[in-house]
Amino acid sequence: MGDQRVAVVSGGSRGIGKAIAVALAARGCAVAVGFQGAASAAAQVVETITASGGRAIPVQADVADEDAVAAMFDTVEKSFGGVDVVVNSAGRMSLSPIADLDLDDLDALHRTNIRGAFVMAREAARRVRAGGAIVTLSTSVVGLQFPNYGAYAASKGAVEAMTLVLARELRGRDITVNAVAPGPTATELFLDGKDEATVERLAKQPPLERLGTPEDIAEVVAFLAGPAGRWVNGQVVRANGGII
């Protein structure tokens, strides 16, 4: 097990993060399933992975808390010997027209989506071993400009910019840094508050005429994190079924 790659997946207890944790484990990574409050959900993901013969542990941290994130990485290094892959899938979404935006919601988004992404990226840049990969999660809404997504798209636009800069800053380290930007994906976070007609309309927008699944996104992340994706670096991959 000494040469086993080790992955840290924040937001790994549900939705896209859960699918990413399972996909990386299926490819042979030992996985740290990061969570903030959903301890039982994270434990279930760990159980799913270990039941299939994989190695996984739950690790708790608020991604915006630099001390908690450093402690999380310490735990992973002590448990598995190092860190090779870091995926920041923790995120928050608030929908509102910009004119009506509650600035408290904006601050909460900023704390999780921007500060959290920076804290995770900073720790990853300090710890990931040569040959490793850092993957952030953005959103295709940065390019699609759906109404009501102003605050969320702004936060993810910041993530994309930071990701591309970090790829250049890690020159000489043999570490790839990319962002994956899902389109409409059937997760609890996405489906919450949307009626059936809205979901149906969004599902018809891509030429493939369906919503994405968490597994669709996880496969892209796993590709970027694995040996086949080594020549993709400093990119934003829009995994959205061709939606325009």
First to last CA, the chain: 44
Q: From the candidates 80, 149, 152, 223, give the one annotated as an active-site residue.
A: 152
Q: Of 59, 58, 36, 37, which is closest to residue 47 (Cα–Cα)?
A: 58
- In DSSP notation, 8-54 reads EEETTTSHHHHHHHHHHHHTT-EEEEEESS-HHHHHHHHHHHHHTT-
Closest C-alpha to 17, from 45, 47, 40: 45
- Please say if 149 is a catalytic residue: no
How would you class 66 by CB atoms within 10 Å of its CB: exposed for 0-12, middle for 13-18, buried for 19 or more?
Answer: middle
Alpha-carbon span 44 to 230, nearest angstrom: 31
Question: Closest Cα partner for 8 from 114, 89, 122?
Answer: 89
Residues with active-site annotation: 152
